[in-house]
Structure 1
């Protein structure tokens, strides 16, 4: 497990399944706004074999992962 400092990131990690945790551990976080909700988008290199998690979104308003 990666050491996340903020409580928000720790909660996101706890709520995530394998796909979301893989994105958090291997990806870079960026902030995007969807329907005026602040979301974290996790992306990583297309060279990684597992691509299902690329682009995973965590909604900070609803405290849930988006599809």
Structure 2
């Protein structure tokens, strides 16, 4: 799980994810909103399961042609 934080650098705020600086904004409120949005998106992705690309076995049996 990604850990978000924000630090003040001069007059700006830097948003960090797992101790890596990823975004610089001018408002503390905007930084907090971006962290909230990112957390919501990541939580929404965790609920969705990806479907299998193809089943292991075919769903129908192949018919054998009749030879004369």
TM-score normalised over the length of structure 1: 0.31
Higher strand share: 1
- The TM-score normalised by the length of structure 2 is 0.30
